């Protein structure tokens, strides 16, 4: 049940690459499923991926996956399923006036690696992709099935704190008169969030709980500023 996540701008050839991967990775010993964007948006896509990951097949996600927060959710789904994964970045494309913003994959982020990039008619690095999916060591078991490490309590404490700081910044901006279209700034983060609509504390708190539930699947040593930025993008995407 390995997972291949595609990402890229519109017109970069993601669907063509997904079909190439389906033909190359599927076979008599395993099926290869392509999960594409459809009605229902991000939540429906993630639910279909999670459903497919319950089988011993290859799952290929043919979607823009343009934000780090989306790729992070799929990373968590793969870790929860205990399966190998990789990210294929289809470079190029784009240029449309209404296309969504695209955050380039960062191989320094755990959820963006192993990372492979192709552009134009460049052949897929199938040997490296197969090695990442079928020859790499499986991820560690889901942490809920074994004793929690001593540092996990401190990790969760810091995670709760940084996500609460993000919520406080969003609420403070709204209390200060921020309107839809304004950019909310969070102290310590270079990036901001464009406020697409007014959002209540109750809704923000619900989204925060969802994000924490994804993240606490495996306490890690990821930089908290990175996770705060991912949480900010998660909020931005969720309240559109």
Residue 43, domain CATH: 3.40.50.300
- Classify residue 144: in a domain, yes or no: no
Same-domain pairing of 159 and 57: no
The DSSP-derived string for 137-200 is: PPPPPPGGGSPPPTTHHHHHHHHHHHHHHHHHHHHHHHHTT--TTPEEE-TT-S-EEE--S---
Same-domain pairing of 81 and 34: yes
Q: Which residues contact 49 (CB under 8 A, 6 or more apart)?
A: 3, 35, 59, 61, 74, 77
Tens of pLDDT, residues 127-137: 999 999 988 87
At residue 22, the 3 state secondary structure works out as helix
Same-domain pairing of 59 and 19: yes
Please give the tally of structural domains in the chain: 2
Domain ends where: 135, 165, 182? 135
pTM for this one? 0.64
Same-domain pairing of 121 and 165: no
Tens of pLDDT, residues 79-127: 888 889 999 999 998 777 778 889 999 988 888 999 999 999 999 999 9
Q: Which residues contact 200 (CB under 8 A, 6 or more apart)?
A: none
Label residue 40 by pLDDT band (50, 70, 90): low
Label residue 145 by pLDDT band (50, 70, 90): very low
Arithmetic mean of pLDDT over the chain:
84
Residue-number span of the structural domain to which 114 is assigned: 3-135
pLDDT at 147 over 60: no
- Classify residue 73: in a domain, yes or no: yes
Greater confidence, 46 or 224? 46
Same-domain pairing of 203 and 124: no
Same-domain pairing of 29 and 106: yes
Same-domain pairing of 68 and 169: no
CA-based Rg of the chain, rounded to a whole angstrom? 18
């Amino acid at each position: 049940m390995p997972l291949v996540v595609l990402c890229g701008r519109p017109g970069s050839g993601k669907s063509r690459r997904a079909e190439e991967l389906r033909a190359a990775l599927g076979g008599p010993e395993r099926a290869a499923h392509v999960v594409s964007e459809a009605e229902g948006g991000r939540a429906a896509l993630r639910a279909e991926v999670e459903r497919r990951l319950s089988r011993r097949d290859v799952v290929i996600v043919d979607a823009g996956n343009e934000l780090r927060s989306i790729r992070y959710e799929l990373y968590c789904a793969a870790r929860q399923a205990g399966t190998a994964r990789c990210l294929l970045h289809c470079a190029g494309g784009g240029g449309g006036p209404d296309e969504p913003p695209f955050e380039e994959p960062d191989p320094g982020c755990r959820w963006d690696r192993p990372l492979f990039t192709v552009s134009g008619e460049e052949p897929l690095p199938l040997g490296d992709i197969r090695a990442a999916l079928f020859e790499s060591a499986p991820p560690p078991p889901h942490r809920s099935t074994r004793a929690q490490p001593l540092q996990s309590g401190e990790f969760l404490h810091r995670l709760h704190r940084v996500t609460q700081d993000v919520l406080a910044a969003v609420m403070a901006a709204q209390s200060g008169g921020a309107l839809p279209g304004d950019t909310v700034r969070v102290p310590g983060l270079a990036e901001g969030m464009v406020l697409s609509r007014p959002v209540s504390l109750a809704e923000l708190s619900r989204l925060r709980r969802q994000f924490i539930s994804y993240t606490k699947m495996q306490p890690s040593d990821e930089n908290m500023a990175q996770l705060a930025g991912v949480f900010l993008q998660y909020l931005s995407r969720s309240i559109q």
